[in-house]
Amino acid sequence: MHNVQVNGEDILKRQLELAEANRRLLEEKRVVAVSVMGAIGSGKTSLIERMIDRLAGQGLHVGTIAADSAGDDDHQRFLSHGADSINLNTQDDCHLDAHTVDHAMEHLPMDKLDILFIENVGNLICPADFPLGTANEMVVISTTEGDDMVRKHPKIFAQTDILVLNKIDLADAVGMDPQRVVSDYSRINPHGKAVLTDARHEKGIDDLLEALGFECTNTQ
């Protein structure tokens, strides 16, 4: 992040303080929060929908915060899967920040929730600088974007310990090699876990939940 001071206040320091306040609130309320970052159209919403279904099937209460520049497409999808959801339109802002998330949580039934998915605005640059105070973070890209996504955005991948490569079923059709993404990622983030998914056909969802630390028994 740029070292930006506004009226003498260090923006980065203030963001860290706000994120820490969110972290304390989430711990107090015993809500496991997951920050879901990723490319536009990479399948963040579809992956969250699949995880909502599985977690709700375990009797867990799931909340969502859906952020987009405009519209409420994702929010409506989460509602239709039974999540308690808040829609956020960031307009000209290309990312969520901890303060916005704090306000969204004021409108969610935090005492009831077990899990909170926070879907960020779709891009791989801006969200990297704004910690939200969640226990878990993941970043989603998809095979159709090509095999150069990690090399082009090293910062967000270096600091996020779960990479989800979605639309794995389309890798052959677009002539991309998933292994190239996985090896770029392991070079830049040796401790990170790469999970391959196909949200549309419900593949890899249990692997993703496991990487996030959820234990899910497949009841199907």
Residues that bind its own copies in the complex, under the rule CB under 8 A: 1-2, 39-42, 68-71, 73, 92-94, 121-126, 128-129, 141-142, 144-146, 148-149, 151-155, 167, 170, 173-175, 200
Residue 146 beta carbon to its own copies: minimum distance, rounded to whole angstroms: 5
Q: Closest approach of Cβ 125 to its own copies, in Å?
A: 4
Is there a contact between 47 and 166 (Cβ–Cβ < 8 Å)?
yes
In angstroms, what is the minimal distance from the CB of 84 to its own copies? 22
What distances in angstroms separate CA 15 from CA 68, 110, 126, 184, one per listed residue?
Answer: 20, 22, 13, 29
As measured in angstroms, the least distance from the Cβ of 1 to its own copies is 6
Contact 35, 197 (CB under 8 A): no
Which element (helix H / strand E) includes 67?
strand 62-68
Alpha-carbon distances, residue 163 vs 11, 37, 50, 196, 200 (angstroms): 27, 10, 17, 9, 18
Query: 87 is written with which tokens?
Result: 């829609």
Q: With respect to its own copies, which residue has the nearer C-beta, 42 or 160?
A: 42
In the complex with its own copies, the residue whose CB is nearer, 43 or 133, is 43
Nearer to its own copies, 12 or 25 (CB): 12
What's the min distance (Å) between Cβ of 55 and its own copies? Answer: 23
Burial class (CB in 10 A: 0-12, 13-18, 19+), 151: middle
Residue with Cβ nearer its own copies (41 or 82)? 41
Could you tell me the two tokens for 3? 């070292």
Q: Can you give the C-alpha Rg of the chain in angstroms? A: 17
Q: Which is nearer to its own copies, 146 or 193 (CB)?
A: 146
Q: Which is nearer to its own copies, 112 or 152 (CB)?
A: 152
Distance in angstroms (rounded) separating the CA atoms of residues 84 and 118 = 12
Cβ 108 to its own copies, closest distance in Å? 22
β-pair type (136-142, 162-166): parallel
